[in-house]
Chain A
Amino acid sequence: MTDPTTYLSHLELGEPDKTFLDSNELIINMGPQHPATHGVLRVILKLDGEKVLGTECVIGYLHRGVEKIAENRTYTMFNPYVDRMDYVAAVSNGLGYCEAVEKLLNIQAPPRANYIRVILTELNRMASHQLWLGTHALDIGAMTPLFYTFRDREEILKIFEKYCGARLTTHAFRIGGCQYETYEGFERDVKKFLDFVPPRIDEYEELLTTNRIWLERTRNVGKISAADCKALGVTGPVLRASGVKWDIRKAQPYAAYPEFQFEIPTGANGDTYDRYMVRMQEMRQSLRIIRQAVEGIPEGPIMAKVPKVMKPPVGEVYHSIEAPKGELGYFVVSDGSTQPYRVRVRPPSFVNLQALDVMVRGQLVADVIAVIGTLDIVLGEVDR
């Protein structure tokens, strides 16, 4: 492998602090095999003692060439592949892809399908945030939340399993709607979950929100301003925690979202604690959306009229959704054949990870762990 120092050649590093002992700069590798990098992420750190002078991410260990695969599959055949990018929020990935192709085909999913889509996507957002909370807290040193969140996330995965047979890479939606009608007792299960989970969220909050160690480890750690977020293209809860009230579900609504009432939680400081608070409130907002959807779910078909052989007209389209991590976009080009000419995935994790350097410079090395956790990246999506 290449000498790590060559990676940092472009960084304009500040002078190390002069102490009476004269400190030394140290270059160390964090990862790719490191439990706190949430996958195979390698971060090269330039340190002055405990202080981070600069970082460089080395990514691509999980690169599978998803965009190339797309060009060699039909539109339908590529659908399950998108689940393998952000594998903890597979339903969101599928929704973005299906809607992008539907736009290209100029068809719309029927209302009932849209409601099912919203229910499952919001459940998945909830599951993704729970997984994030458990692992993030574990990284920082709180072990209990992990067991609580995994216990409760199980209930969501059970609903997915009953609905489509899979727990993680669900392939829940099809281009044009949903393949499966809701199972007998789906609404009862979802409502039961809605009653079951709010006290559990209170429980997570009891463990962390006013916990002194948690506050010390997250407040004023990894701060990023709204202007920096916009310049770096950072989206999702990270952007909202910096005080920008922007959510694609509200700004450019899709599926059945215009029909539901919900708030966009925002933070003020843009630090790790605010991002924690934003995600906690997002979970409660998701429950609100699910409740409205499950109570108002209309009857009717779940699949639009879709040709058996899909040949979208020549053209290109960009469609994005608010995935749990931020803006997930699909840019699809059709040449009129059965296979997409080009599929570009705009992954939120990849773009958000770029902000790591800005967020940790000048902070302590222990905070790098906290910041990687708070960015909520999934390496399957970063590397695609």
Chain B
Amino acid sequence: MAEEPKSPTPPSGEPKPPAGQPIPGSVQSTPAQKPAEKAPEKAAAATKPAGPTPVPWESPLVAKLKAQYGSGVREANTYLGQNYLVLEPSITNEVLQILRDEEEFDYCVDVTAAHYPKREKQFDLIWILYSFARNQRLRVKTMLADGESFPSSVAIWPTTNWLEREVFDMFGIKFDGHPDLKRILLPEGWKGYPLRKDYGIIQQDEEWVKTNLGIESGQ
């Protein structure tokens, strides 16, 4: 995000992960994006039995969406018995509306995100949906670049109001048309977005802490 406010001090004192462990933010491949290609490699390298791999998810719903949007539906897989869709951002909001109106996914369980700083499109934006009528869960995922905003789904599921605020608070993803997009867990005026991978675990907004708490550091 171009106007992303930077913390007055660079992240310092971040505990180093133990030797031999990858730093969480430094994965080369994106796990969520390409599990299908990655998993067989791993299985071949290790002598252990092959782990579970995502298998294509066949269903009338997927067929319908593929017929309507073609390559906009990038993936439709089942991993460990859980179905998920990976969609192009341009069609995602439309598909969410269809999922609620026509496919009975009337309960939005959660909206969340994950940050992959090495990727061109840095953010995964994830909806976890549930249908009472079908007793089925579904994850919908799309990818956004830093600074890209996404249409708010408050009009589709009112519950996403606070959930989107939390995503904004923690990742800095903006939702267009949200009725009241502001920080929810952190105080207003806080700088930085803690769940981004480049935000160290003990990093804080020292300016805010000094002004509001009257102490040098909360650490």
Q: Which positions in A face B, CB cutoff 8 Å? A: 2, 10, 59-60, 63, 65, 67-69, 71-72, 103-104, 106, 230-234, 244, 246, 251-252, 313-318, 320, 327, 329, 331, 333-339, 341-342, 344, 346, 350-351, 354, 383-384
Contacts and interface: CB of A to CB of B under 8 A. Distances in A.
B95 interface: no
Interface stretch (B57-65, B68-76, B142-150, B178-186): B178-186
B109 A68 contact: no
Interface in B124-173: 126, 128, 132, 135, 137, 139, 157-159, 161-163, 170
A252 B184 contact: no
B80 A244 contact: no
B159 A354 contact: yes
Interface residues of B, number: 53
Given A10-B180, A59-B184, A313-B51, A337 B39 contact: no
B188 A331 contact: no
Given A10-B180, A313-B42, A68 B194 contact: yes
B13 interface: no
Contacts of B132: 230, 244, 246
A52 B17 CA distance: 51
Contacts of A10: 179-180
B75 to A, nearest CB: 13
Contacts of A72: 15, 17, 24, 201
Contacts, number: 133
Interface string B174-212: 000001100111111000001101010100000000000
A60 B188 CA distance: 11
Given A233-B107, A334-B31, A339-B24, A314 B159 contact: no
18 contacts: A10-B180, A67-B170, A68-B195, A68-B201, A232-B159, A313-B39, A315-B35, A315-B80, A316-B31, A318-B139, A320-B109, A336-B31, A337-B22, A337-B27, A338-B21, A346-B110, A346-B112, A354-B159
B110 A60 contact: no
B46 to A, nearest CB: 10
A331 B21 contact: no
A233 B79 contact: no
Interface in B4-56: 15, 17, 21-22, 24, 27, 29, 31-32, 35, 38-39, 42, 51-52, 54
Contacts of B106: 230-231
B109 A341 contact: no
Nearest to A314: B31
B21 A337 contact: yes
A331 B161 contact: no
A346 B80 contact: no
B99 interface: no
Nearest to A334: B31
A232 B51 CA distance: 37
Contacts of B107: 230, 233
